[in-house]
Amino acid sequence: MTSLNAEAQVSARTQPTAYRVVLQDAQGHQWQADEPLAVGGQDSGPNPKQLLLSALGACTAITLRMYAERKGWPLQHVEVTLAYAPVASEDTSPVILSQIHLEGPLDDTQRERLLKIAQVCPVHKLLSQPLQIDSRLWEAEV
């Protein structure tokens, strides 16, 4: 793969089972995606939109934990629940709703600051700005 000084890299490879895809990162971690039974998949893993939401949820939770630890704040647990709503009309954009539950004896100022920090986690920032996707065909070397 041609690198663009990539910070992260993942490959997605189809499987003999319809719509199942095995994903792998440069470190060798593997996971899979699939589509629901209703659209011809085997429902053996999250669908692509769920994977996107999971990236945002993981990034948000990790960022909040890191920030609270650096500040010495008593954040004990973070739960992020996400939902995707597609475009309803030509005048609207898709929406991702992120509900964040913070556990621990935090005061109101800390809770408000953590909400602001959640909105600048790396994946949130990536999804909130214009993004260019440069798709190319890869020619295998013979």
The residue extents of the domains of the chain are 1-45, 47-131
Find the Cα–Cα–Cα–Cα dihedral 98, 104, 105, 107, rounded to 10°.
Answer: -20
pLDDT at residue 2, as a whole number: 53
The CATH architecture assigned to 47-131 reads 2-Layer Sandwich (3.30)
Q: Is 82 a residue whose pLDDT tops 70? A: yes
Maximum separation of any 2 CA atoms in the chain, in Å: 62
* pLDDT value of position 89: 81
Q: What is the pLDDT of residue 43?
A: 96
Q: Is-contact 106 136, C-beta < 8 A?
A: no
pTM for the full model? Answer: 0.88
Question: In whole numbers, what is the pLDDT of the chain averaged over residues?
Answer: 93
Q: Please, which residues have CB within 8 angstroms of residue 104's CB and are 6 or more apart in sequence?
A: 68, 73, 74, 75, 76, 77
pLDDT band at 90 (very low <50, low <70, confident <90, very high): confident
Residue 70 has pLDDT above 60, yes or no: yes
For residue range 17-63, what is the model confidence (pLDDT) as tens digits? Answer: 999 999 999 999 999 999 999 999 999 999 999 999 999 999 999 99
Alpha carbons 111 and 114: distance in angstroms, whole number: 5
Residue predicted with more confidence, 77 or 136: 77
Q: With 60 as the cut, is the pLDDT of residue 3 above it?
A: no
pLDDT, average across residues 109-128? 97
